Amino acid sequence: MRIDILTIFPGMCMPIIEESIIKRAREKGKVRILMHNLRDYSSDKHKKVDDRPFGGGSGMVMTPQPIFEAVEALVRQGNVESAKRRVVLLTPQGTRLDQKRIKRFTKYKQLILICGRYEGVDERVRTSLVDDEISIGDYVLTGGELPAMVFVDCLVRLLPGVLGDKNSLKFESFEGNLLEYPHYTRPAAFRGLEVPNLLLSGDHSHIEAWRKEQALKRTKRKRPDLLKQ
């Protein structure tokens, strides 16, 4: 998979894609992540990418020209059939990202992520260029870079061969609309807090049953909405 990220602050994203699982996924060739500075596509002599809003009002709006030209250039570079490509705008007005939605993006060969800034992007970007509008939650950040990194992080770990143990994906929160069961590790007793005895018993069928029950219990307690889905 190729992921192109369009931003005026590429440096904000680099530390995240250069560490840990994303870094290893890139090294193993499971994903290519390419950062693009939107200013490089601006036809303005000062490389401006924003302007005042028509009709007045506060703040600046990102102009359509650099965004359209950048996306068109990246589509040409990616050279994948249109059914295998999505252009995604990060916006607080988009569909809320969740595990089901991010899974759907794993089937594409090229994703182009647009990070907004200021008051956001000119509406024509949304109506004529973008396939998906994605929000990471009901709050407003200063820019789309952190949302793009959230998107990339939860996507990359789902790509085949990225996580060493496939079971990590099978038994984790939101699978089967449940939260994951509680985890314990050594020591078995810590400051008077004991690990449940069953987990030390080596009886795998009982451990599995206990984990299922715990997953159900904590989902009922913390996220009853998941059980209704």
Give the three-state DSSP class for 133.
Answer: strand
Closest separation in Å from C-beta 39 to ligand SAM: 16
What is the rounded distance in angstroms from the CA atom of residue 155 to the CA atom of residue 183? 24
Q: Is residue 149 a contact residue for ligand SAM (CB under 6 A)?
A: no
DSSP count for the chain of H helices, then E strands: 9, 9
> How far apart are CB 59 and ligand SAM at their closest, in Å?
7
Tell me which of 20, 79, 142, 201 binds ligand SAM, using CB under 6 A. 142
Identity of the amino acid at 222: K
User: What DSSP assignment string belongs to 29-61?
Assistant: TS-EEEEEEGGGG--STT---EEPPTT--SS-E
Q: Report d(CA 9, CA 115) in Å as an integer.
A: 9
Interface stretch with ligand SAM, choices 10-18, 75-83, 89-97, 157-165 (CB under 6 A): 89-97
Is residue 169 within 8 Å of 21, Cβ to Cβ? Answer: no
Show the tokens assigned to 95.
Answer: 């569909």
The answer to whether residues 87 and 112 touch, using CB atoms and an 8 Å cutoff, is: yes
Based on the shown chain and the rule CB under 6 A, indicate whether residue 20 belongs to the binding site for ligand SAM: no
Candidates 20-28, 98-106, 139-147, 217-225; binding stretch for ligand SAM (CB under 6 A): 139-147
Nearer to ligand SAM, 132 or 180 (CB): 132
Return the number of the residue (91 or 219) whose C-beta is nearest ligand SAM: 91
CB 89 within 8 A of CB 116: yes
Residue 10 in the binding site for ligand SAM (CB under 6 A): no
Query: Is 54 near ligand SAM (CB under 6 A)?
Result: no
Q: Which of 135, 173, 177, 214 binds ligand SAM (CB under 6 A)?
A: 135
The interface with ligand SAM within residues 166-185 (CB under 6 A) comprises none
Give SS3 for 5: strand
Q: Does the footprint of ligand SAM cover residue 115 (CB under 6 A)? A: yes
Quick one: which of 110, 122, 144, 162 contacts ligand SAM (CB under 6 A)?
144
The span from the CA of 17 to the CA of 30, in Å, is 13
Nearer to ligand SAM, 81 or 138 (CB): 138
Q: Which residues of this chain interact with ligand SAM, rule CB under 6 A?
A: 90-93, 115-117, 119-120, 135-137, 139-144, 147
